[in-house]
A and B are shown apart, each in its own frame.
Chain A
């Protein structure tokens, strides 16, 4: 068996173990270690088993991960979602589909300080779903909007997925964050457009709501200034060169903790929940990084990425066609895998190819994270679909899935725009750095 074929076999074996329900980190780690053992003997594998766990977490740049996770967790416990929803709703809630568009807007803002898709769905869902139900919104529109809105947090900085992509490819995390701003806003606009099309075709799914007066609008705005301040401080600080991403993450974590503290939401129960949520999330992320490191040692040794490059080169396919094939692969894989595992498993395979085809790695990262976030709402394993269903127990899964398709179409259109116009991702970093 050639080494490259062994690499392909290992890739499929890892996918098979994952499909059998084994934790992704263990699947990647076990296959990586076994494959490396086969290629380099016991001495080789004992070296990487002894050093990888240390080397995988030791670099200073990895500090950014737990700090951004802490920021997101404390932000989601600070009770900011209700104020955000009320503030946006006071401006556009009275229009047809306005509550759904408000949900998208609140998800985008909340995602900006939270960075976790699942937390955004759970938190915004708690506020938005009862409100939309009260106003007679069709459950398929309301639940699908919450599920789709949650994906915005994956791309809108600070994003843990972008951090991981940046660490894997040694790309600038600051540049990735800035590059994600326009595509993230574009995502919110495309979702809003999808809602407007839905309510134009079927006005019954979103009855009109009452208009809010200006005094109330100002009152709501005063309640959300801290959210805007925290976001501006973190992302503006990186953009203006005040902080490195790690420093911005630390400022964000301390800021979110203080917001939670002063909002009066932080008591013994919520503090405990936040601490254990941070522990679970970061423990999962760090161990998956170790598993991915073992798997990548193996993959690099097999020469599979080089074989892929040679195959693509000899096929005569244009870079655009290759990109489309990669995206189709990601969309299919995203139906069955979570976004982080997908990125850790595939980026080491595709990045050498992207470099060979002269793709800008910042742009490639934005496209990959965008397509990975689509996986969060594609059935049957769209995690957001499960989370929103847990928040709306009276709505069957089939209703959520029925409503999600217009949002998937919006995502695919956005992806096409990002692929055809890389400047949408690259213009802003070029101004900042």
Chain B
């Protein structure tokens, strides 16, 4: 089990690095356009590119937030609860997260199929709209893995701590 969790960690961390690189690409394209405009060479379709990079980045880093429990939560009540109550609450939170993300992935995939059926493209560069959906689907699927891996690590930590 530990090896699977480690593999999940490697995958989620790699996606996070790719996600931040994607943000970096968005920043560089934007700065290049700002400078380009001043000298008469604006970047064509900068909005399409920035949207693609940011959407890609966002969905690739979301699993990392699940894995590292970076999502904002209020722990003061949880911290004072005894372990027999704390562990079920952690599991309950993970089950809710799994349920919500699974439903989003399932319905997201159906929406993706509908919206890409007619080959819609972005306005400026004609980037297939499906390209904006692939990171979403990949990010959701990786989030499911990250939630399970995060739960495993948290429970292991809680039980070892005790």
User: Residues of A with Cβ closer than 8 Å to B?
Assistant: 18-26, 29-30, 33, 46-47, 49-54, 57-60, 62-63, 66-67, 70, 243, 246-247, 249-251, 253-254, 257, 275-276, 278-284, 286-288, 290, 336-338, 340-341, 380-381
Instruction: Let me know if B78 is at the binding interface, CB within 8 A.
Output: yes
**Contact (Cβ within 8 A) A243 B54:** no
The 3 A-B residue pairs with the shortest CB-CB distance, nearest first, are: A283-B65, A50-B107, A21-B78
Bound form: Cα–Cα A60–B47 in Å: 7
In the bound complex, do residue A282 and residue B96 qualify as a contact, i.e. CB atoms below 8 Å apart?
no
Confirm or deny: B72 has a beta carbon within 8 angstroms of a beta carbon on chain A: yes
A139–B89 alpha-carbon span in the complex (Å)? 37
Contact indicator A57/B61 (Cβ below 8 Å): no
Contact across chains for B51 and A63 when beta carbons are under 8 A apart: yes
Interface of A is mostly: helix
The interface residues of chain B lying within 8 Å CB-to-CB of A284 are: 65, 70-72
Given contact pairs A66-B54, A247-B31, enumerate 19 new A-B contacts (beta carbons under 8 Å): A19-B74, A22-B93, A23-B73, A24-B71, A30-B99, A51-B111, A54-B133, A60-B47, A66-B57, A67-B30, A247-B30, A251-B34, A278-B20, A279-B65, A280-B68, A284-B71, A288-B71, A338-B72, A381-B74
In the complex the two chains form, is B73's CB within 8 Å of A287's CB?
Answer: no
On whether the beta carbons of B73 and A67 are closer than 8 Å, the reply is: no
Whether A62 lies near B75 (C-beta < 8 A) is: no
Q: A250 CA to B63 CA in the complex, in Å? A: 24
- Inter-chain contact A70/B27, CB cutoff 8 Å: yes
B117-161 to A contact mask, C-beta < 8 Å, 1/0 = 000000000000000110010001000000000000000000000
Q: For the complex, give the distance between the alpha carbons of A336 and B76 in Å.
A: 9
Name the CB-closest residue of A to B77.
Answer: A19
For B50-82 the 0/1 string (1 means CB < 8 A from A) is 110011011101111110111111111110000
A63–chain B nearest beta-carbon distance, Å: 4
Q: Among B30, B33, B59, which residue has the most Cβ atoms of chain A within 10 A?
A: B30
Q: Is the CB of B8 closer than 8 A to any CB of chain A?
A: no
Residues on B lying within 8 angstroms of A by beta carbon are 13, 16-17, 19-20, 23-24, 26-28, 30-31, 33-34, 47, 50-51, 54-55, 57-59, 61-66, 68-78, 89-90, 92-93, 96-97, 99-100, 103-104, 107-108, 110-111, 132-133, 136, 140
What residue in chain B is nearest A339 (Cβ atoms)? B72
Known: A250-B27, A283-B70. A49 touches B64 (CB 8 A): no
Are A283 and B140 touching (Cβ within 8 A)?
A: no
* B86 to chain A: closest residue by CB: A21
Q: Is the CB of B55 within 8 A of A29?
A: no
A46, B31: Cβ atoms closer than 8 Å: no
The answer to whether B77 and A20 have CB atoms under 8 Å apart is yes
Chain B neighbourhood of A33, CB < 8 A: 100, 103
B62 CB to closest chain A CB, in angstroms?
A: 5
Q: Within the complex, what minimum Cβ distance (angstroms) separates B136 from chain A?
A: 6
Asked whether A21 and B74 contact (CB < 8 A) given A63-B51, A283-B65, the answer is yes
The secondary structure that dominates the B interface is: helix
**Smallest CB–CB gap between B148 and chain A, Å?**
15
Given A21-B78, A21-B89, A25-B71, do A246 and B30 touch, yes or no (CB 8 Å)? yes
Determine the chain A residues whose CB is within 8 A of the CB of B78 once the complex forms. 20-21
Contacts of A70 in B (CB 8 A): 20, 23-24, 27
Closest to B64 in A: A279
The answer to whether A282 and B74 touch across the interface, beta carbons within 8 angstroms, is no
Contact A337 to B74, CB < 8 A, known contacts A23-B93, A250-B26, A254-B31: yes
Contacts A26-B100, A58-B132: A282 and B57 contacting too (C-beta < 8 A)?
yes
Q: Given A49-B107, A54-B133, A243-B34, are A21 and B75 also a contact pair (CB < 8 Å)? A: yes
Instruction: List A contacts of B33 (CB < 8 A).
Output: 247
A/B interface sample: 20 pairs, CB < 8 A: A18-B73, A22-B89, A26-B71, A33-B103, A46-B107, A53-B104, A60-B47, A63-B26, A63-B54, A66-B54, A70-B23, A250-B27, A250-B34, A251-B30, A254-B31, A276-B13, A280-B70, A287-B62, A341-B72, A381-B74
Q: Are B73 and A21 in contact (CB under 8 A)?
A: yes
Is the Cβ of B136 less than 8 Å from the Cβ of A60?
Answer: no
What's the Cα separation between A30 and B76 when bound, in Å? 21
Contacts of A52 in B (CB 8 A): 104
Residues on A with beta carbons closer than 8 Å to the beta carbon of B133:
54
Between A49, A249, A250, A341, the greatest number of chain B beta carbons within 10 A of the residue's beta carbon is seen for A250
Whether the pair A24, B55 counts as a contact (CB closer than 8 A) is no
Point out the residues of chain A lying under 8 angstroms from B108, CB to CB: 49-50, 53-54
Asked if residues B62 and A283 are in contact (CB atoms below 8 Å), the reply is yes
CA distance A52 to B111 in the complex (A): 10
Nearest to B70 among chain A residues (CB) is A280
Cβ of A91 to closest chain B Cβ, rounded Å: 34
Name the residue of chain A whose CB is nearest to the CB of B15: A279
Please tell me if the beta carbons of A247 and B34 are within 8 angstroms of each other in the complex: yes
Which among A22, A58, A66, A247 is the interface contact of B51 at CB below 8 angstroms?
Answer: A58
- For A337, list chain B residues within 8 Å (CB): 74
A276 to B55, CA, bound (A): 17
Q: Which of B17, B30, B62, B72 has the most CB of A within 10 A?
A: B72
Q: How far is the CB of A298 from chain B (nearest CB, A)?
A: 13
Q: How far is the CB of A193 from chain B (nearest CB, A)?
A: 31
What residues on B are CB-neighbors of A51 within 8 Å?
111
In the complex, the chain B residue whose C-beta lies closest to that of A23 is B71
